[in-house]
Each structure stands twice: as structure tokens, then as C-alpha cells.
Amino acid sequence: MRFRKRKKVLIFSLLIFPLILILIILFKWKDIISFLHILYLDEVLVKWAGVIVNITIILLTLFLNITLGYFRRPRFKIDCDIGPPWQIQTKLAAANDDKDDVIQMHLRFRVTNVGRTCEDSSEVRIEKIYKINAQSIDKPIALNDHDPRPLKWVGRNTAPIVLNVDTYDFVDLGVRRSDILERFRLDFSERGHYDLIMESDIISGFLVDGTVYGNKAIPLHFTFELTWDPTSDFGPIKIKKI
């Protein structure tokens, strides 16, 4: 939205400048014509003026190409919240008849292309994970045994996908199961998984830190805080964008 406002200001400036120039010419056109005629009689000045005009046109063309290209680039937005479509509950049939079915809560991020052109290689990577110590909330501790890995797109693998203008898709962050309340498993498809274990009175939550990448779009960095109660009934995961 900020870039669209800048574009409107640029267009308004380009329209108002010729209008001001026309008003000046209308009120002082005779003086302007006389002055231009005197300049025209100076051959050296005319030659230099031609060179300056050509250079100005070249620079203006380059500026407009770069500026329009910048404004027309793909741009990412990522969000998540409690409830559908970000958190989807499914049921996993129990292996034995004497056991209850397992309820799974899938947590997903929604990635949207809010730019003006298509992005042909969209990828979401989780690069860092931190645990929040209940005794020192302001000093998250990095989990160094996690290596940066891409998330899988819902129903597919981790390969980059195409995102057209004003369209979105979902990536799976992970899943929580009703039979293991303290665990949330980050899912990286063929790249494996990573378990976040909530320990009561020791860990109050986790931070997942990542980036949305594309070939043409500016990388979008994000951080979400995850928390859940391992001692209460099974329910949605509390998530907040930092």
C-alpha cells in the first residue's frame, strides 16, 4: 500500500508540472519567445543545448524504466492466526480399537503476492528457532541444532511455486497431536522435521524466524511467536507476529 501511494504522488507531480509550465507560458509568452530567439542566434549555445537535451532524455528514460520496474515488482505478505484457514483440525484413526482417535492441529502460513507482477519462484524458509525461557522472556535462546530449511506448500513439496498478482497459497509450518500435548512438530517434508517441546515452568514459547524468497521480489523477513499449554485440553496454538 505504501508503494502505491508513492506511485500516485509521482503521477500527480508529472501531471501538475506541465500545467504550471503552461500557465507561465500563457502569461509571459512574448518575453519567453524573445529570450529564446536571442539564445537561438548563439550557435555554440544551441549545440550545447542539444547535447544537454539528449543526455537529459537518456537519463529520464533510464530513471523511468528503473522506477516503474521497482514499483511493478512482486511483493510478499505473510500472515497467520487462530482458526481456519490457518489452523486446520484433522482426525487420525487409532491403530487399536481400544484407543481413541488422534486429533491433529495443522498450523499454516498464508503467503500472498501483493505486488504488481507475477513471482515465478516463491519459497518460504525457516532459518532460526528460539526458545523463550519462562524466567527470562526478553532473552530468547537460539536452538543451534536447527539448519535453515524450506517449508512445504500445502498438498505439495518444498519446491518453489508461482504466485500470480493478488493470489495466495499456504505453507505447512507443522502439526500438534492430541496424544502428545507438549510437542509441536515442524514439518519440512523430505528435509525431515524438528520437534518443539513445551516444558511447563521452564519454556513459555518459541520463536520461528524465517524469510519468504522469490526471483524478482524483495525477500520478506518474518518472526512468529508460538505458544501452547501442554497441561490443558487439546486446542488451537496461540500465534503472534513479532
* pLDDT single digits (tens) 87-124: 999 987 766 665 677 888 999 999 999 998 999 999 99
Residue 160 confidence (pLDDT): 94
Residue 220 confidence (pLDDT): 95
> Which pTM was predicted?
0.70
Give the CATH number of domain 76-241; options: 3.30.70, 3.30.1490, 1.10.10, 2.70.50: 2.70.50
* pLDDT single digits (tens) 178-219: 888 889 999 898 888 999 998 867 788 899 999 999 999 999
DSSP assignment of 103-157 equals EEEEEEEEEEE-SSS-EEEEEEEEEEEEEEETTEEEEEEE-TTPPPEEPEETTS-
83 has a pLDDT exceeding 50: yes
Q: Where do the structural domains in the chain lie, given as residue ranges?
A: 2-71, 76-241
